[in-house]
Amino acid sequence: MPPIAEKLRQIQDGIASACVKAGRKPDSAQLIVVTKTASIEQIIEVVRAGFIELGENRVQHLKQIADQVGESLQASGQAHLASQIHWHMIGHLQRNKVKPTLQICTMIHSVDTLRLAEEIDAAAAKLHLHVPILLQVNCSEEPQKYGAPVGAVIHLAEQIASMPNLRLEGLMTMAPLTMDKEVVRTAFARARELFEEIKSEKIVGSRFHHLSMGMSQDYEIAIEMGATMVRIGSAIFA
């Protein structure tokens, strides 16, 4: 088995057992393969292994690799695989990069201000799209990090929910960079609380069902705390 496929299988097993440990169905957390450090060849291997939910954090790079991956698959007679890929924008998004992002991505995880949401809503209207988005929360409340402040999230969710061309499907967060598992767990628990609160107050309707949290170092804790999507890169490609 090629090494990438083997690693993907290990991660998939890790996700399934973390789900079971948390009393959840083994397939209740979706793997987003973060390709920002991967080569085109590695990305092709990922797609051939059947993993089509891919994440990138920079639009410019995403455009380049999406094209190259498409060409490469086409050249090997597998253009159908290229059309199955779902790209997720997971990194900070500048307002002037919204249009190219919408042309490639099926979901944006990193919406964290009203102005960005408004920009995406307007661009989506022009492109006749209804865009699935997640609201990024700064759960560790580190000042240098992206994400809406915890105290602003409910109100922001209400505002975004009223935008006609956006579909608010959940929350996204990143844990602080620390080896201290309790600090990580506390940040994820806060995201979970906000998620449940928004859901129970029926601010945004039944589509609100995703909690995108957990990376290579902390995905097991994230699943324990309710993640429905984990975004993993270095554990696969490093």
Ligand X SMILES: *Cc1c(COP(=O)(O)O)cnc(C)c1O
Residues that bind ligand X (CB under 6 A): 34, 36, 57, 90-91, 174, 215-217, 231-235
Nearer residue to ligand X within complex by CB, 161 or 174: 174
Name which of 156, 185, 174, 176 is nearest 229 in CA terms: 174
Q: Which residues share a beta bridge with 87? A: 54, 105
Query: Smallest distance from the beta carbon of 116 to ligand X, in angstroms?
Result: 15
Determine phi and psi for 107, rounding to 5 degrees: -150, 145
Name which of 73 and 219 has its Cβ closer to ligand X. Answer: 219
Is the Cβ of residue 54 or residue 73 nearer to ligand X in the bound state?
A: 54
Q: Tokens standing for 12?
A: 């998939």
Q: Least separation, in Å, of the C-beta of 218 and ligand X? A: 8
Give how far Cα 96 sits from Cα of 64, 99, 106, Å.
Answer: 18, 7, 18
Please state the closest distance from residue 224 (CB atom) to ligand X, in A.
Answer: 17
Measured at CB, which residue is nearest to ligand X? 233
142-146 CB contacts, 8 Å cutoff, 24+ apart: 142/176, 145/174, 146/92, 146/110, 146/112
Residue (56 or 119) nearer to ligand X, CB: 56
What are the backbone dihedrals phi and psi of residue 87, each rounded to the nearest 5 degrees, phi first? -90, 135
Give the H or E element holding residue 98.
helix 98-104
Q: Which amino acid is at 203?
A: I
As measured in angstroms, the least distance from the Cβ of 95 to ligand X is: 18
How far, in Å, CA of 110 to CA of 87, rounded? 13
Minimum distance, C-beta of residue 19 to ligand X, in the bound complex (Å): 18
Closer to ligand X at the Cβ: 60 or 200?
60
